[in-house]
Every structure is written in structure tokens, then in C-alpha cells.
Amino acid sequence: MSTELELPFRLDTQLTEVMRLRVQSLQQRGQKRQDGERLLLPNEAVYRLDFSKQSLRFSRWMVQLAQTGRLTVTATSQLWTPDLTNLMTRQLLEPVGVFWRVPGDASDAPIQCYEADAHEFGERIAELAKVRKVMYFLFAFADGCSPETVDCSIAFTQS
């Protein structure tokens, strides 16, 4: 019998701040980013997902948006070591998860998403969980969405 395990995405305030300082430092010095470097945009934050188990199968996304808006979740590859290197565009994984609520949606209406991409994305995360204890993600907030209005977790079954 398999049991479901819900893992919450947690804001990594320290890593988000380090990445914001990198942008600020480049701007203050009038320098450009490294070739292929991915700088953090003002509407983005770094989140982490900690895996307590490694043998997982994707079950479902659990995303709540308290108001209208769009959340885009992008995973980083296992090759990115945030304490040692800058994030490079080649270290961003596809597909991404895009979740949204439009004006006029009832408060209890399900969150909309590109289901095939979201499912493939969840399966990819489960695959990476086999070799990782933690993964980092870029959360991009748009159209009225913000970290304060989002609650995001992912459910797996343990195999």
C-alpha cells in the first residue's frame, strides 16, 4: 500500500537575497551579467523543496492563489550549487509549471494550469528526488499574484 506525502515549497529568503544582491552589485558597478547567467527578476523568488524520501511517484500539485494572478514555477538542475556558482540559463529545467486564477473565478474554483506540462513537470521532480535531498525553484509572480497570496505544495506517493 502506498501513502501520500505532501511536500511544501518553502521560500529561501537567504538565497533570494543573495541573488538580489548579485543584481544590485552588477547595476552599481555598471557591469553586465556573465554570458548565459540567469539573474533574478524583481517579481521572482527562490523556493526550495526538501525531500525526506527518495523513492517517490508524482501524484498532484496543490496550488492555492488567494486572488487573481499567475504563478510560474521553474526548477533548477542538480548541477546548480547556489553556494558556489551563479545560476545559468542552461540550468533551468523544462517544462515549467504555470498556474493561474482569472478575474471572475469563484473563490472555490480550481486553479487553472497547463495540465500536461504540470504533470510532466511533477514527474520530472519525482525523478530528480531519487538523487537529491533538496531542489531549488524560481517562483515568478505576475498579474496580481505575490508570495503572500500563494500556497504551493506537491504530493507524491511513496513507492
pLDDT digits (tens, 9 = 90+) for 37-88: 999 999 999 999 999 888 999 999 999 999 999 999 999 987 777 877 889 9
Please choose, from the candidates 96, 142, 143, the residue with its C-alpha nearest in 3D space to the C-alpha of residue 119: 96
Angstrom distance (rounded) from CA 49 to CA 45: 13
Residue 51: phi and psi, rounded to 5, are -100, 120
pLDDT digits (tens, 9 = 90+) for 87-125: 999 999 999 999 999 998 887 889 999 999 999 999 999
Instruction: Provide the whole-model pTM.
Output: 0.94
Largest CA distance in the chain: 58
What is the predicted pLDDT for the residue at 54? 87
